Amino acid sequence: MRKFFGTDGIRGQANIEPLTPHTLTRLGQAIGLHFMRGDHRHRVVIGKDTRLSCYMVEAALAAGFVSVGMDVALVGPLPTPAVAMLTRSLRADLGVMISASHNPFADNGIKLFDPDGFKLSDEVEREIEARLEGSLPLVQPPYLGQMSLLQDAVGRYVEFVKGSIPRHIQFEDLRVVVDCANGSAYKVAPLVLKELGATVIPLSTTPNGKNINAECGATYPQLMCEKVKEVGAHVGLAFDGDADRVVFADETGRLIDGDQIMALIATDWSERGLLKGRGLVATLMSNLGLERYLESHHISLVRTPVGDRYVAEKMRDEGYNIGGEQSGHIILSDYATAGDGLLTALQVLTVLTLKKTPASQVLKLFTPFPQILKNVRLSPSLLKLPDVEEIFEKARAQLGRNGRLVVRPSGTEPLIRIMAEGETLNLTEEIVNQIAISLTSLSEKVAA
């Protein structure tokens, strides 16, 4: 068990443990000491999204790194994948992204990248936490780290992303709505698309520290969908707060999720001989419809636990180059080590440009099975009780071979997440509600 780290780094409410200046400074020291190996000058790259609390978190972490002798390169507000890319590009020892992703502005968090730009394993996170239990040796004054601002960080990332598509591709015929969630993509996303010739209709590009993800972006795509219809755009994009994921809308304003996008890119790359491993990697949450569609195209689907770092680990271990999550985290490992919403968007816009076909025809490749997700505010420890499996087996029998059931604890909140897919919406909804009621009754029985 880990005390601080969850599904995707460390996350919580700003200025409440563990995201207080004192604890963050110690975290910076423990993380820095873990990655200081060898006698070279050590460096950490720190990026952030647009939350008000990022200034506090950045300063506290930087103080911790400097105090153990690590140099700090600050890159300012940039998407999470940009930090992963810059960590590799600068030959840094560590990358840090300060963000709570799609959460409200009052929350914040820390995502960590190793020198190769990959998120840390569970084992490394446990080792860092173990360091916090002991003393953290500080360096003498001559060996303190230095801090600097990387002036050309935005330009480096812009050129990196543009380099992922052929030079002859231009988006001059596309009108694109771009919702940046008042987050870390507010500068770079419109800039990249404009440089590639698209007519950009920007949304949510005026962050004030408190409006990140506020009724905008990937978690509130209605704004983007409505704007597409209003202005007659060809397609819409909506990023989350740190821009490591993206969802789309076709020209009718219909929402397109990550499963459809993975199907599109996998099919396109398969036709062009670019797909590695004859398959893609997705989590337990991806729709059964995606799996059936891929089977019909002789493409396999490999599933992992929820979390894009588990997807990345599986891709790296078994040689796949496409993977992701239904929520829009998509990893294209030929180009990047982490989910990148902007890089994904360029791949989709390239297909639209080459096919010269409306997005409504290109982006809807399969009919998803009815899927119901319900969060129940119960202790995740309930799932360890022996009586629980009987509840799940009964539900699986009702769903039959054309259904799936996934019940898991939340990695960030005291919740149990119930997901079911079935042949009909009514059956699926009924089964999810039954499980929620049964788990609540079991919890009450245990408490009594």
22 and 143 both lie in a single domain? yes
* Among candidate residues 198, 230, 255, the one where a domain is terminated: 255
Single out the residue in 122, 153, 184 at which a domain terminates.
153
Model pLDDT, residue 354: 94
Q: Which domain holds residue 41?
A: 5-153
Same domain, 322 and 267: yes
Q: Count structural domains, the chain.
A: 4
Share of residues in the chain with pLDDT > 70 (%): 99
Same domain, yes or no, for 17 and 146? yes
Strand order in the sheet with 71-77: 5-6, 9-13, 107-113, 94-98, 43-48, 71-77, 147-149
Residue type, 330: I
Judge if 14 and 32 occupy the same domain: yes
271, part of any domain: yes
User: Is there a domain that residue 158 lies in?
Assistant: no
Answer yes or no: do 122 and 183 share one domain.
Answer: no
pLDDT in tens, 257-303: 999 999 999 999 999 999 999 999 999 999 999 999 999 999 999 99
Is 166 contained in some domain?
Answer: no
State whether 344 and 428 are in the same domain: no
Q: How far, in Å, are 50, 100, 196, 310 from residue 406 at the CA level?
A: 34, 25, 41, 17
CATH code of the domain covering residue 235: 3.40.120.10
pLDDT at residue 448 tops 80: no
Q: Are residues 250 and 269 in the same domain?
A: no
Cα dist from 131 to 24, 92, 114, 402, 441, whole Å: 14, 21, 17, 47, 41
Does pLDDT of 412 surpass 70? no
What is the Cα–Cα distance from 300 to 275, expressed in whole angstroms? 11
| CATH code of 439's domain | 3.30.310.50
Give the C-alpha separation, 377 to 362, whole Å.
39
CA 210: distance to chain centroid? 21
Q: What is the pLDDT of residues 369-406, one digit of tens each?
A: 999 999 999 988 899 998 899 999 999 999 988 899 99
242 inside domain: yes
Gap between the Cα atoms of 380 and 392, Å rounded: 15
Residue 101 appears among annotated catalytic residues: yes
Task: Point out which residues pair with 408 in neighbouring strands.
Answer: 417
121, part of any domain: yes
| 98 and 20 assigned to the same domain | yes
161 found inside a domain: no
Distance, in Å, from the CA atom of 181 to the CA atom of 190, rounded to the nearest integer, reads 12
Query: Across-strand partners of 374?
Result: 418
Domain boundary among 202, 228, 255: 255
Residue 163 placed within a domain:
no
Same domain for 387 and 416?
Answer: yes
Give the model's pLDDT for residue 1.
60
Residues 181 and 135 in one domain: no
184 shares its domain with 125: no
Higher per-residue pLDDT: 298 or 448: 298
pLDDT tens digits, one per residue of 199-245: 999 999 999 999 999 999 999 999 999 999 999 999 999 999 999 99
Residue 341 has which token pair? 């919403």
Q: Is 162 among the domain residues?
A: no
Distance CA 238, CA 249 (A): 8
Same-domain pairing of 357 and 378 = no
What would the pLDDT profile of 23-82 be if each residue is shown by its tens digit? 999 999 999 999 998 889 999 999 999 999 999 999 999 999 999 999 999 999 999 999
Q: Which of 101, 184, 327, 333 is catalytic?
A: 101
The string of pLDDT tens digits covering residues 188-208 is 999 999 999 999 999 999 999
